């Protein structure tokens, strides 16, 4: 029997691919993108802050950033209020991929830094369930309402749980609820029954793993390995591992793919370059590509909305302002111990959108060692309150 999946439908449709366009105002020569990257990274990784000038071919240029400094100041007030051991916050404009905020703050830091937001040294945890869900929804017959059985705690992933098909203590859940509640067992079983190591890796790379994501800024890509065996495939698919590594800016980009109907608009930090006279000599254009079919993105939206309304983020958004209640908000939580800086990571990636289609995607990563100060989902809600009240 011929199986028609969303990916087959997608292949038969028009795939939208936007290529970054660089425009230069030099009469005799032009600057290569790699020159901008190398100049930026050298200063960025030495200081942890965005450089005020870039030296390229022995000439100085002023980078004009996409950062919304008023928004960053509001976020900084929240970070100083809660004083978690370590926090990283990234906000992206869904319409063009521009990074509006990228802040890192330690409990005892006197001022914020930026490097950790762009460093893929953080286990992705259950945020990766977005990628696994996309692969299952797009390339198999698993849908939001597909039923699964599981036994034991949903937060664990033992080999016996993956083999168990029923029994006295088994329970049922549909796939959407499994996502909203971050059920490791169901995601592990669904992957073993329907996915392949190479297929999941391919979907991860569409979502930005193992390749350059942020122009000029991120020195190393987020990492997703090929599963070594069946159990490892279940671990990777559920996010219960410390091998899948990503940066907070990547987390915001993943949420924006869902918000943008399956299109990735690669995050942009440097909007323009100006010469010493203030004349703009270079500007970036949006780099976008179709990652998943719009129908797949719509199904993922329902799952992420369910996470906020009745899943693992419901408490944080229970007391949302009227302004936020009028928006479409979806998200995904994740938690795991590990990474650099080491500690208990609490992730939340989210998108928000109004009726006009305007919206923002966020990633908040809180790292705590012994004590919790604030949940990432609550911090996200408070940031969204500020954004949409302006």
For residue 87, give its domain range: 6-15+66-268+289-389
Residue 239 lies in a domain: yes
pLDDT of res. 31:
65
DSSP states of 79-108 as a string? HHHH--SEEEEEEEETTT-BEEEEEEEETT
- Name the one residue in this structure whose structure tokens are 């190393």: 220
Residue 94 lies in a domain: yes
CA angle 126, 132, 135 (to 5 degrees): 165
pLDDT of res. 274:
93
Tokens of 263: 């299109």
Domain count for the chain, please give it. Answer: 1
Residue 26 lies in a domain: no
Q: What gap in Å lies between CA 16 and CA 296, rounded to an integer? A: 15
Residue 47 lies in a domain: no
Q: What gap in Å lies between CA 147 and CA 144, rounded to an integer? A: 9
313 or 1: which leads in pLDDT? 313
- Name the one residue in this structure whose structure tokens are 């030296």: 55
Phi first, then psi: what are they for 184, rounded to 5°? -65, -40
Residue 52 lies in a domain: no
* Residue 36 near residue 271 (C-beta atoms within 8 A): no
Question: What's 279's DSSP letter?
Answer: -
Q: Output the average pLDDT for the chain.
A: 90
- Taking 90 as the threshold, does the pLDDT of residue 213 lie above it? no
pLDDT of res. 284:
84
Phi first, then psi: what are they for 211, rounded to 5°? -155, 165
Residue 106 lies in a domain: yes
Between 69-82 and 376-389, two packed helices, what is the crossing angle to 10 degrees? 140
Tokens of 91: 């906000």
- Name the one residue in this structure whose structure tokens are 């409990």: 107
Q: Name the band, by pLDDT with cuts 50, 70 and 90, for residue 80.
A: very high
Q: What gap in Å lies between CA 289 and CA 286, rounded to an integer? A: 10
93 or 29: which leads in pLDDT? 93
The helix/strand/coil state of 113 is strand
- Report the residue count for the chain: 390
Question: What's 175's DSSP letter?
Answer: H
Between 230-238 and 197-206, two packed helices, what is the crossing angle to 10 degrees? 30
- CA 349 → CA 300, 326, 365, distances in Å? 13, 19, 9
- CA 155 → CA 151, 152, 178, distances in Å? 11, 9, 11
Residue 84 lies in a domain: yes
Residue 29 lies in a domain: no
Between 129-139 and 230-238, two packed helices, what is the crossing angle to 10 degrees? 110
Q: According to the per-residue pLDDT averaged within each range, which of 21-35, 154-168, 299-313 is highest? A: 299-313
Q: What gap in Å lies between CA 126 and CA 237, rounded to an integer? A: 9
The β-bridge partners of 200 are none
pLDDT of res. 198:
98
Q: What gap in Å lies between CA 367 and CA 257, rounded to an integer? A: 25
pLDDT of res. 20:
37
The secondary element (H helix, E strand) that includes residue 316 is helix 314-317
Q: What gap in Å lies between CA 335 and CA 330, rounded to an integer? A: 17
CATH number at residue 203: 3.40.710.10
- Taking 60 as the threshold, does the pLDDT of residue 15 lie above it? no
CA angle 239, 122, 33 (to 5 degrees): 115
308 or 12: which leads in pLDDT? 308
Q: Name the band, by pLDDT with cuts 50, 70 and 90, for residue 215.
A: low
């Amino acid at each position: 029997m011929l199986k028609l999946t969303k990916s087959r439908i997608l292949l038969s449709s028009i795939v939208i691919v936007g290529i970054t366009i660089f425009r230069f105002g030099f009469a005799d020569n032009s600057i290569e993108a790699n020159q901008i990257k190398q100049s930026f990274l050298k200063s960025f990784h030495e200081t942890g802050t965005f450089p005020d000038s870039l030296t390229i071919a022995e000439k100085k240029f002023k980078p004009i950033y996409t950062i919304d400094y008023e928004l960053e100041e509001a976020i900084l007030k929240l970070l100083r209020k809660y004083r978690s051991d370590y926090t990283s916050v990234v906000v992206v404009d869904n319409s063009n991929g521009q990074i509006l905020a990228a802040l890192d703050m330690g409990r005892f830091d006197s001022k914020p830094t930026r490097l950790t937001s762009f460093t893929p040294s953080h286990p992705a945890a259950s945020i990766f369930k977005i990628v696994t869900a996309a692969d299952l929804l797009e390339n198999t017959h698993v849908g939001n309402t597909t039923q699964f059985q599981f036994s034991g705690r949903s937060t664990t992933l033992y080999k016996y749980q993956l083999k168990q098909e029923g029994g006295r203590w088994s329970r049922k859940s549909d796939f959407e609820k499994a996502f909203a509640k971050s059920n490791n067992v169901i995601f592990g079983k669904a992957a073993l029954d329907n996915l392949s190591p190479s297929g999941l890796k391919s979907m991860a790379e569409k979502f930005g793993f193992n390749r350059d994501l942020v122009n000029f800024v991120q020195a190393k890509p987020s990492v997703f390995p090929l599963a070594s065996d069946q159990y490892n495939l279940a671990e990777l698919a559920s996010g219960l591992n410390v091998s899948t590594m990503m940066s907070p800016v990547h987390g915001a980009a993943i949420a924006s793919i869902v918000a943008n109907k399956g299109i990735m608009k690669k995050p942009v930090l440097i909007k323009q370059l100006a010469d010493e006279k203030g004349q703009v000599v270079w500007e970036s254009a949006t780099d976008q590509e179709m990652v998943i079919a719009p129908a797949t993105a719509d199904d993922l939206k329902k799952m992420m909305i369910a996470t906020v309304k009745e899943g693992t983020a419901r408490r944080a958004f229970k007391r949302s302002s009227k302004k936020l209640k009028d928006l479409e908000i979806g998200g995904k939580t994740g938690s795991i111990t590990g990474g650099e800086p080491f500690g208990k990571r609490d992730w939340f990636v989210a998108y928000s959108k109004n009726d006009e289609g305007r919206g923002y995607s966020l990633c908040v990563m809180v790292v705590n060692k012994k004590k919790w100060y604030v949940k990432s989902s609550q911090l996200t809600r408070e940031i969204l309150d500020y954004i949409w009240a302006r």
